[in-house]
Amino acid sequence: MKVTMQALVDFVYLEARLIDERRFPEWLDMFTEDAIYWMPLEWDQVEEKLTTSLLYEDKLLLRTRVERLEGARTFSQKPQSRCQHLLQMPQVDSMDSAANAYQTWTAFHYAETRFDEQQILAGWARHTLCVENDGLRIRKKRVDLVNCDAPFRNIQLFV
Amino acid sequence: MQNPAVNRIKNLQRPGEVHRDAYVAQDVFDLEMKHLFRNAWAYVGHASQIPNRSDYYATTVADQPILMVRHKDDTIHVMYNRCPHKGTQVVIDTKGNAGKFFRCPYHAWSFRTDGSLASVPLKRGYDNTDFEKSCAAKGMTSVAHIKNYRDFIFVKLNDAGPDFESFFGDSLSSLDNMIDRSPVGRLQVVGAPLRYLHHCNWKMLVENQTDTCHPMVAHESSAGTVKDIWEKEGGDGPRPMAVEVILPFMSSYEFFEGMGIRTWDNGHGHTGVHHSIHSDYSVAPGYEEQMQAAYGAEKAAAILGENRHNTIYFPNMMIKGPIQSLRLFKPIAADKTLVESWIFRLVDAPDILLERTAMYNRIINAPTSIVGHDDLEMYERAQSGLSSDGMQWVNVQRLYEDGEGTTPEATYNGTTEAQMRNQFRAWEKFMLMSMDGGVAP
């Protein structure tokens, strides 16, 4: 497939929509099998594995989250959380078809609610995308929260 | 006249039960700040957070702003983070280096790194005012009691209460074990702590650390789902590290019964006397050999053979020796607790151990952790439920035995609530010891 800037932008928008609409199995399929979803704990964090992060999830852990959200005894999801992403237009930082690597940078506001409590998070998502089986996939998603070092309440869905 | 606070506290317990006001009443919380948290030893931070002279770390102990700093002679000083002049917090960031002096940003009073007053601008304005006799002239106030135990810095704010050794007694064996797991006997703090805000009383979190009847129930949604997925995928072959970490949460009641619980005087205790959910982790290549070279075969085997699960250091700290993590359950209000989860590197040990430590921290302790979500839901439902007037007592009777608390140390079936009762005995003791009309220490 030929990767255009518009295709990359549309893909990042679609990802947010699938989360907001709780279409989690479809969302999971957007990730490669070796994908990593990373949310650092510290500002400008470089280290991935040898320090604490908020999230550093492989596909197995992401699959666990998705299954858990619908589980009969997932008490923290009774009632379920809802979320909404507001994305600034994704910017394409690099397109390297030879390396099959495409980078985007997207500023966002994210709201997650459950019962009467609403939490607003803001930050930037960096997607590393690739082409697999003739479609775009996420190889890595890095989410940096602007207040990454703040005390948080539960964050149960996907930023 | 009898101090009404004494009866207020004494009336919150009867055999096997604790009154809900211990968890929900703000007046009881205020008494905890004033008495319990000042009479007990509290952890401040780790020496590795301030490796160089004049490095500082600012934090809180109970409701007090506290500053820990490395002085020019390499000793660690702990003082109240408050300018003696008008009360301004001298340091506002959590860490940094003071240079030669701390300098208050309001009127430029400056202080040496032991807190003593170095200079005041326009000093002659204090001529003939008896300034030297004021408490301000003494500089920043040091806390009453400081102990550096193998790089772990503890303080006690009041003079009441036991000295460090009597307070902790043999419970220090858990801290020793965590430190000894480094071939050179040294730990280093790694990264920032996770910070997780709970709308519940701090004691619920502390009690949950030795509550072995909840994992297979409350964590069925997280650990149970990992188990299902792992089994669906065949469930054989080497377990990924994440599976190794989460799966033991689904262990049976019998497993947790056999784990055992040990209690010590003054509210300390731990789960995992005989084995624990940390016992079956895969071995890091080369690590055992390093430990044997450092300690000899026998001592190395003894250190690595301990797999204590959660050790409570009363009132509000928990460590996991085999994981090298430390959690502080910081009380903010009767219904508000900030949990900080810290991790350590075993100096000179293989990186794979730190990788597991970091993974454990984010999978189990983060505000983004599915295991954390399970727990927070239970605490906050309990905090809300306790507002019920229909029943005002919390039950902690499970596996009660006559004679509990009469020996400095005891071991029990791993599903007992004896450690919760142990904490509440200590709670009353440390609440009352500095009250007029309370019990003498």
Residues B303-313: pLDDT tens digits?
999 999 999 99
3-state secondary structure (DSSP) of residue B13: strand
3-state secondary structure (DSSP) of residue B340: strand
Q: What is the CA radius of gyration of chain A?
A: 16
**CA B203 to CA B380: how far, in whole Å?**
12
Q: Measured in whole angstroms, how far is the alpha carbon of residue B230 from the centre of its chain? A: 33
Tokens of B61: 């102990």
- Answer yes or no: pTM beyond 0.90: yes
Distance from CA of B308 to the nearest CA of A (A): 22
Residues in chain B closer than 8 A to A75 (CB atoms)? 218, 221, 374, 377-378
Tell me whether residues A52 and B190 touch, CB distance under 8 A: yes
Residues whose CB is less than 8 angstroms from the CB of residue A116 and which lie 6 or more positions away in sequence, other chains included:
none
Residues whose CB is less than 8 angstroms from the CB of residue B186 and which lie 6 or more positions away in sequence, other chains included:
B151, B179, B347, B348
Residue A132 has pLDDT above 80, yes or no: yes
Q: How far is CA B411 from CA A57, A117, B105, B327, in A?
A: 38, 43, 53, 23
**CA B249 to CA B306: how far, in whole Å?**
19
Beta bridge partners of A87: A108
Tell me whether residues A71 and B377 touch, CB distance under 8 A: no
Using CB atoms, pick whichever of A58, A63, A68 lies closest to residue B222: A68
Mutate to test the interface with A, among B373, B375, B384 (most CBs of A within 10 A): B373
Tell me whether residues A64 and B229 touch, CB distance under 8 A: yes
Distance from CA of B240 to the nearest CA of A (A): 9
A26-57 pLDDT per residue, tens: 999 999 999 999 999 999 999 999 999 999 99
Residue B441 has pLDDT above 50, yes or no: no
Q: What residue in B sits closest to A65 (Cα-Cα)?
A: B370
CB B31 within 8 A of CB B9: yes
Is A126 part of the contact surface with chain B (CB cutoff 8 Å)? no
Beta-sheet pairing, B76-80 with B110-111: unpaired
Tell me whether residues A154 and B376 touch, CB distance under 8 A: yes
- The crossing angle, in degrees rounded to 10, of helices A59-69 and B223-232 is 120
Tell me whether residues B220 and A73 touch, CB distance under 8 A: yes
B209-232 pLDDT per residue, tens: 999 999 999 999 999 999 999 998
DSSP-derived secondary structure for B355-375: HHHHHHHHHHHSTT-HHHHHH
Could you report the predicted ipTM of this complex, rounded to two decimals?
0.97
Tell me whether residues B373 and A156 touch, CB distance under 8 A: yes
Distance from CA of A150 to the nearest CA of B (A): 7
Is B195 part of the contact surface with chain A (CB cutoff 8 Å)? yes
Residue B319 has pLDDT above 50, yes or no: yes
| CA dihedral of residues B237, B243, B246, B249 (deg, nearest 10) | -20
Outline where B285-399 has alpha helix (H). Answer: 287-295, 297-305, 351-365, 370-385
Q: How far is CA B1 from CA A6, A101, B9, B429, B435, in A?
A: 80, 78, 16, 21, 13
